[in-house]
C-alpha cells in the first residue's frame, strides 16, 4: 500500500498569490492515484488552497498522518512558495508570516527520519527548493540521508520556479513524465527516470531540478503501458541462446513470401517489434526485411543483451 499527500498553495495572507499550484495538484493526483491500466497505485489525499485554508498546524497534522506506520511508501508533493533561510527552505502555508513562513524542510525530514515507512519520496515544486541541499540531514555525505529517501526539487537554491499559463513548468513536465515520458521499456516510471526526464527538459539557462537519494532500488511511481511486454521478452530470449548470438534469417521469415512458414513468421513478428524498441538490429542490412530476404542475420543490441541477462537470471 502506498500513500501520497499533494499540497497546492496559491493563496496566502502575507505573500503574493500564485496561479498554478492548485491546478498542478489536480493534474498530478489522478496519475498517482491510478496506473494507466486503472489499477490502484497511491492512495492520494489532496490539499489545495482553493478548497481549504492550509495552515502550518494543518500541514503538520497531514504530514504526521502521511508518515505514520502501515504503508510501504509515502510521497509528498508540495507546490507553493518556498522561503529560503540559512541552511534550509521553508514550505510556506496560508497563515505564514515573514518570521514564521510555514513548515521547514528540516522539520519534514526529521519526521521522515522517525517514520517507519521504508520508502519516502519528496517532490518540492517551489522556488529556492534546491536549498534543501544545505539542510543538515542532506549534507555532502549520502550516508546522512535516511535510507529509502528520494528528493527531487524544482530548482536550485538560488533559482525561482517558473509558472506559465496557469501551471508550474516543473509540474507540467512531471505530469508528462508520469504519463509515460519517463517510462522504461516495460512501462515503469521510477523516481530516477522522472529526474532524468525533468533534467533533459530544462536547459542550462533555465531553472535546474536537483535530485538526492539514498536508495538501493528505484522507487516506482507509476506503471504505464509497456513498449515491450515481459512475455515478449521471454519469447525473444528463446530465439537467442546467448546474448551475442547472431540469428540466421531467410526469406521464410517474411510473411509475403510463399510457401509460408508460420513459426518463422511469428518469430519475425517478435523480432520486428524488438527492432522497433531497439532491442534487435539487422546484421549487414539497414532493415530487417532485407536481412530476411537476403538471408542475413540479426542480433541483440547492447540494451537487448541487458534485457537478455535479466530474463535469463529470472529478474523480471
- Mark which of 163, 197, 223 sits at the end of a domain: 223
pLDDT for the residue 155: 79
Residue 128: the pLDDT is 57
**Among 93, 40, 77, residue whose Cα is nearest residue 174:** 77
Return d(Cα 246, Cα 240) in angstroms, integer.
8
Domain boundary among 172, 200, 223: 223
Residues 146 and 262 in one domain: no
Of the three residues 223, 249, 283, the one that is the final residue of a domain is: 223
Contact 239, 263 (CB under 8 A): no
Are 88 and 135 spatial neighbours (Cβ–Cβ below 8 Å)?
yes
In the block, which residue shows the cell 513536465? 173
Provide the CATH number for the domain around residue 7: 3.40.50.1460
Are 25 and 126 members of one domain? yes
Q: What is the CATH number of the domain that holds 248?
A: 1.10.10
Q: Are residues 214 and 299 in the same domain?
A: no
What is the per-residue pLDDT for 206?
Answer: 75
Walk along the chain (316 residues) in steps of 10 and give the mean pLDDT of each run.
97 92 97 98 97 95 98 97 87 94 94 96 78 53 75 73 70 97 97 96 83 91 96 96 97 88 94 97 96 96 97 91
Range of the domain at 176: 2-223
Q: Do 79 and 200 share a domain, yes or no?
A: yes
Domains: count for the chain? 2
CA–CA separation, 297 and 294 (whole Å):
9
pTM of the full structure: 0.88
C-alpha cell at 84: 529560503
114 and 9 fall within a common domain: yes
Amino acid at each position: 500500500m502506498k500513500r501520497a499527500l499533494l499540497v497546492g498553495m496559491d493563496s496566502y495572507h502575507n505573500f503574493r498569490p500564485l496561479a498554478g499550484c492548485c491546478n498542478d495538484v489536480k493534474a498530478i493526483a489522478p496519475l498517482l492515484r491510478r496506473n494507466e491500466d486503472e489499477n490502484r497505485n497511491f492512495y492520494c489525499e489532496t490539499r489545495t488552497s482553493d478548497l481549504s485554508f492550509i495552515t502550518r498546524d494543518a500541514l503538520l497534522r497531514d504530514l504526521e498522518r502521511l508518515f505514520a506506520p502501515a504503508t510501504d511508501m509515502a510521497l509528498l508533493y508540495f507546490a507553493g512558495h518556498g522561503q529560503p533561510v540559512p541552511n534550509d527552505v521553508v514550505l510556506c502555508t496560508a497563515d505564514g508570516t515573514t518570521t514564521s513562513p510555514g513548515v521547514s524542510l528540516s522539520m519534514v525530514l526529521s519526521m521522515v527520519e522517525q517514520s517507519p515507512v521504508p520508502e519516502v519520496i519528496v517532490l518540492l515544486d517551489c522556488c529556492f527548493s534546491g536549498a534543501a541541499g544545505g539542510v543538515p540531514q542532506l549534507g555532502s555525505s549520502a550516508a546522512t540521508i535516511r535510507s529509502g529517501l528520494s528528493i527531487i526539487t524544482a530548482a536550485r537554491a538560488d533559482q525561482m520556479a517558473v509558472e506559465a499559463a496557469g501551471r508550474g513548468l516543473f509540474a507540467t513536465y512531471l505530469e508528462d513524465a508520469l504519463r509515460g515520458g519517463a517510462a522504461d521499456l516495460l512501462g515503469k516510471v521510477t523516481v530516477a527516470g522522472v529526474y532524468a526526464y525533468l533534467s533533459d527538459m530544462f536547459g542550462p539557462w533555465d531553472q535546474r531540478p536537483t535530485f538526492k537519494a539514498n536508495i538501493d532500488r528505484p522507487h516506482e511511481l507509476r506503471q504505464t503501458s509497456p513498449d515491450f511486454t515481459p512475455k515478449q521478452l521471454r519469447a525473444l530470449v528463446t530465439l537467442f541462446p546467448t546474448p551475442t548470438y547472431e540469428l540466421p534469417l531467410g526469406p521464410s521469415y517474411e510473411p509475403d513470401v510463399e510457401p509460408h512458414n508460420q513459426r518463422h513468421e511469428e518469430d519475425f513478428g517478435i523480432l520486428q517489434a524488438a527492432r522497433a524498441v531497439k532491442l534487435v538490429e539487422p546484421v549487414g542490412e539497414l532493415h530487417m526485411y532485407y536481412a530476411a530476404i537476403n538471408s542475413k542475420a540479426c542480433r541483440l543490441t547492447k540494451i537487448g543483451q541487458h534485457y537478455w541477462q535479466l530474463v535469463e537470471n529470472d529478474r523480471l
